[in-house]
Chain A
Amino acid sequence: KNEVEQSPQNLTAQEGEFITINCSYSVGISALHWLQQHPGGGIVSLFMLSSGKKKHGRLIATINIQEKHSSLHITASHPRDSAVYICAALKNYQLIWGAGTKLIIKP
């Protein structure tokens, strides 16, 4: 069992839908990252959370430290949001990665 689990693995939705991707971790962490990997392969850091909630545009990330759970939400989804979304737990000097969620938004 991975120390960082993401769900779902694959998600296909229609443009405009509200998207939720979940991440659970079993290790003690100092922070949790949400990252986006574009179809071209590049990785972009979206959020780094150690508590509470962060918002950037249509993206919202929340974390519950007690429950060891984080969620990434996308409001008013758009085809350009199609990508792989990865959560990674920062423990000491190591990022422990989830397997990623492949999101496809259809027009």
Chain B
Amino acid sequence: DTAVSQTPKYLVTQMGNDKSIKCEQNLGHDTMYWYKQDSKKFLKIMFSYNNKELIINETVPNRFSPKSPDKAHLNLHINSLELGDSAVYFCASSQVGANTEAFFGQGTRLTVV
């Protein structure tokens, strides 16, 4: 069973469109994250949710809106896509405060054309 699953794996879309990336974890973790990997392969945190509550919201355009319907899901919705949004987006989960690993989804390669 996949621990953290993201869909879709690849997403190609036109500028101005609205799209969503879904993330689900079956590990029972209470914290989920969204990261953006830029062209230099550096991972930057975008959002962190703990038990469906937003904990971290880094400087991200408000076109990006995370939604956590329950603690097993953290979806990323992006409005009015721009060329600069093209990147690989990673979802991750962990159990903060316990001695556990962070687990990552396989990534979603978003290409805005």
Tell me the A residues contacting B by CB distance below 8 Å: 30-31, 33, 35, 37, 41-45, 47-48, 50, 84, 86, 88, 90, 92-95, 97, 99-100
A45 partner, pick from B43, B44, B99, B102, beta carbons under 8 A:
B102
In the complex, which residues 12-45 of chain B have their Cβ closer than 8 Å to any Cβ of chain A?
Answer: 31, 33, 40-45
B43 partner, pick from A50, A86, A93, beta carbons under 8 A:
A86
A90 partner, pick from B41, B55, B102, B106, beta carbons under 8 A:
B102
A33 partner, pick from B31, B102, B107, beta carbons under 8 A:
B102
In the bound complex, do residue B33 and residue A33 qualify as a contact, i.e. CB atoms below 8 Å apart? no
Q: List 10 tightest A-B contacts by C-beta distance, closest first.
A: A43-B104, A45-B101, A93-B55, A97-B43, A48-B101, A93-B48, A42-B106, A41-B107, A93-B96, A99-B42
Majority-rule SS of B interface residues: strand
Q: Distance (Å) between the CB of A81 and the closest chain B CB?
A: 18
Q: Give Cα A35–Cα B101 distance, bound, in whole angstroms.
A: 10
Asked if B92 is at the interface of the complex by the 8 Å CB criterion, the answer is: yes
Q: Give Cα A37–Cα B104 distance, bound, in whole angstroms.
A: 10
Q: Distance (Å) between the CB of A99 and the closest chain B CB?
A: 6
In the bound complex, do residue B102 and residue A88 qualify as a contact, i.e. CB atoms below 8 Å apart? yes
Asked if B78 is at the interface of the complex by the 8 Å CB criterion, the answer is: no
Asked if B61 is at the interface of the complex by the 8 Å CB criterion, the answer is: no
Asked if B69 is at the interface of the complex by the 8 Å CB criterion, the answer is: no
Q: Give Cα A48–Cα B50 distance, bound, in whole angstroms.
A: 20
Q: Give Cα A35–Cα B107 distance, bound, in whole angstroms.
A: 14
